[in-house]
Amino acid sequence: MNTVNCLLVCRALEVHVLAGKVKLITTELFADMAPYFHKGTVTALDLSATNIAMVGQLCSVWLINLTNKIPLPPTVYFSSGVVM
């Protein structure tokens, strides 16, 4: 989810009681979004959106894991292209 739309999606997830059930990955972090990240509505932040190859590779791994019923980690932090 890109940064511009994430607040609307976060609010919709909470209204429909899907926060934490739907894995929401957003780009960047800003003050209005921080509470949603701390509450778990936002599962992960991709702060390395400029590294498209890494983003594609990670999404592919997660898709394969989900297909094989391997759960995503509860929270994933990105920093300078390194997943922590």
* Residue 84: predicted pLDDT: 44
pLDDT of 72 strictly over 50: yes
Q: Which of 15, 28, 59, 24 is nearest to 43 (CA)?
A: 24
Q: Which of 5-9, 30-34, 46-50 has the lowest mean pLDDT?
A: 46-50
Instruction: Read off the pLDDT of each residue in 48-67 and give the average, rounded to a whole number.
Output: 74
46 or 69, higher pLDDT: 69
Beta-carbon count within 10 A of 44 CB: 20
75 or 71, higher pLDDT: 71
d(CA 30, CA 52) in angstroms, rounded, equals 21
Overall residue count recorded for the chain in this entry = 84
Q: pLDDT grade, residue 76 (50/70/90)? A: low
pLDDT of 42 strictly over 70: yes
